[in-house]
Every structure is written in C-alpha cells, then in structure tokens.
Chains A and B, each alone.
Chain A
C-alpha cells in the first residue's frame, strides 16, 4: 500500500497526500517568512538599544 493510498481517507481521496503536502509546505514557508521578520524586528531593536546605551555611558 502506497502512502497516497494510506492517506486517501483524508479529503480529496487519492490526491489527499499531494494536495495537503503542497499546502502544508506553502504554509510552513510563508509562516517562516513572518517568523524571520518578527525575529529580525526584535533583534535589530535590541541591538540598536544596546548600541545607544553604550554610547550614553
């Protein structure tokens, strides 16, 4: 029994594996872009804050 047949109980039957795999990978990559942006946002502000604090000392 292939993986596609095993997962055929999901919506879209024999194509469930391919459809959900495509949408799943897309979701992960797009969320990854937002996570990267959010990490950068925090990192840059914290680095700049430290820099300005050092300059004030």
Chain B
C-alpha cells in the first residue's frame, strides 16, 4: 500500500493513473444519476407534510454533504502536501476547491429555493445556513489565495494553512442544528439503523449521494490531470504526451 502511494506521488504515474480512472468514475456517475433522478422524481411518493417540494432533497442533501466532504479532502490533501511535500496532494487540494465551492453554492441555492415554499422566506440568518455560507467564503478565500502567488509551492503552502484552519467550520455546520434553535430540520441519520425516512424515499437519496461522489471523483481526476501537465511542463514526459513525440 505504502509503495503504491509512493508510486502515485510521481507526477507521471499520477497522470497515467488519472487517465485510466476517469471512465471508472464517469460511467457509474451517469448510471447512478439516471437511476437516482428517476427514483427520486418519479417513483418516490410525495411527503405527507411537504408534498412534492421535498424532492429538492435529492440534490440539496447530496450537495451539502459533498460540500463538507470535499472541504475535508481538500484540507487533508493540503496537510499531506505541507508535511510530506507531496506535490500531487497539492494538486488534489487545488483542483478540489472550485468543485467544492460549486457543491456549496448548489446546497445554498437549492436550500433557499426549498425554504421559500416551506418557511415562507428565501433566507434566514440561522446557524446552519450561515455556517454553510461561511464554508463558501472559505472555498473562495482558498481559491483567491492559491491564485495570488506565482510560485505554486508558496501558493499551496499558504492556501493549505487556510484550509486546515477552516476545518473548524465543519463540526459547526454538522452540529449547528443541535447546538442552536434553527429553522433547518435536524439530521435524518442520528441512528443509522433507524433513519427517519421511509426506504422508498431514502434509497434514491443514497443513490444520489453516491452519484455526487462519483461526480466529484471524475471532476477531480480530469482537472488534476491538466494541472499536472502545467506543473510538469518542463519534463520530457509531458512534452511527449502533448506533442506525441517518443521519449
């Protein structure tokens, strides 16, 4: 395992591996998104309280979970880059930021659109919504900081420290519905063996969560592959990849 990780730290091996993995993430994403959308939008019954509007859950919850998961991955990858100086970890952290920011934006926008018919307002400054908005600002700050330096090493260092400090926001988002009185509903998975959702509604949600995870995977791989080419542009193997010359 350690040998494999060490091998993957080589930009050339990393590039080749991303190329091979892309279809393994893309096609499951397509299959899962089709099944999840059909199940969630057509087969799942309407909610007894919220009616049809609850169907927004199938994009709101997966994107909200992914917004936190991607941030965690970004901070851990940034930390690995800082401690072990693994350039490919820096690449993963860098390319994850815009994807995570987009998931956060989706969670905020779909939450606002869902809030209008349910709460009567698009937005309230409650703990869950505000901490999720702070997460978006953290992503934007990370992206700005990463682009503020010409030297990728310095950029990775500065932005990784920011990402690690920002980790403190994740438990705040997660526990906000417990720690404060909020309009936002509580967690559905306090007891994993007994979720507060009927299986007919729960299964499409889980499928959509997996679909979003594969989506993140494919986007990270595609963007990381290009970022490696830019960083390693003075290597002979990149020249060979781009021009088609033989090494």
Kindly state whether residue A40 has any CB partner on chain B within 8 Å: yes
Number of A residues near B (Cβ < 8 Å) is: 27
Query: Within the complex, what minimum Cβ distance (angstroms) separates A52 from chain B?
Result: 6
Contact A13 to B226, CB < 8 A, known contacts A26-B59, A26-B63? no
A15, B55: Cα distance in complex, Å:
10
In the assembled complex, which residues on chain B have CB atoms less than 8 Å from the CB atom of A51? 233
Measured between beta carbons, the chain B residues less than 8 angstroms from A44 are 226, 229-230
11 contacts between A and B (CB under 8 A): A12-B55, A15-B117, A18-B116, A18-B117, A19-B55, A30-B102, A33-B98, A37-B222, A44-B229, A44-B230, A51-B233
Residues of B within 8 A of A (CB): 51-53, 55-56, 59-60, 63, 98-99, 102, 105-106, 109-110, 113-114, 116-117, 215, 219, 222-223, 226, 229-230, 233, 238-239, 242-243
Other A-B contacts than A19-B55, A25-B109, A49-B243, 12 sampled, CB-CB below 8 A, are A13-B52, A15-B52, A18-B114, A18-B117, A22-B109, A25-B106, A25-B110, A26-B110, A29-B102, A29-B106, A52-B239, A52-B242
Partner-B contacts on A (CB < 8 A): 4, 12-15, 18-19, 21-23, 25-26, 29-30, 32-34, 36-37, 40-41, 44-45, 48-49, 51-52
A21→B109 CA distance, assembly (Å): 10
A21 touches B55 (CB 8 A): no
Q: How many Å from the CB of B209 to the closest CB on chain A? A: 14
Closest B residue by C-beta to A53: B243
Shortest beta-carbon distance, B234 to chain A, in Å? 10
Closest residue on chain A to residue B51 by CB atoms = A15
- Chain A residues whose CB sits within 8 angstroms of the CB of B52 once the complex forms: 12-13, 15, 19
Bound complex: CA A23 to CA B37 (Å):
10
With A29-B106, A48-B238 in contact, is A4–B226 under 8 Å at CB?
no
